[in-house]
């Protein structure tokens, strides 16, 4: 599967501690599999930013979730995992 994120929301404000990244999902042959699918989330919890990508990228050894001290680092991990970074 391959995901292409089509919305890049602004970083969360103090009123919001979670953002969602949505986009289209394609099968390995490049055919559209799902539209407007939840691809990843970034949440702020206990002083750290937690990122989680829900679409497999078929890369051996890749990690689909983690925790970072800054929003930008979490954002970079999401982009790198889906191959858009």
Do the beta carbons of residue 2 and residue 25 sit within 8 Å?
yes
pTM, rounded to two decimals = 0.80
- Residue 79 DSSP class: H
CA 71-77-83 angle, to 5 degrees, is 135
Query: Which residue in the block uniquely carries the two structure tokens 């050894």?
Result: 61
Q: What is the pLDDT of residue 69?
A: 94
Residue 85 has pLDDT above 80, yes or no: no
Rounded to whole angstroms, the Cα distance separating 56 from 66 reads 15
For residue range 18-70, list pLDDT tens digits in order. Answer: 888 998 988 888 899 888 999 999 998 888 999 999 987 777 777 899 999 99
DSSP state of 78: H
With cut-offs at 50, 70 and 90, classify the pLDDT of residue 2: confident
What pLDDT, on a 0 to 100 scale, did the predictor assign at position 38?
92
């Amino acid at each position: 599967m391959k995901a292409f994120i089509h919305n890049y929301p602004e970083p969360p404000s103090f009123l919001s501690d979670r953002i969602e990244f949505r986009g289209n999902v394609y099968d390995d042959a490049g055919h559209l599999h799902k539209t407007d699918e939840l691809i990843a989330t970034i949440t702020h919890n206990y002083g750290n930013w937690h990122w989680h990508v829900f679409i497999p990228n078929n890369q051996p050894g890749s990690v689909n979730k983690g925790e970072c001290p800054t929003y930008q680092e979490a954002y970079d991990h999401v982009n790198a995992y889906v191959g858009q970074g």
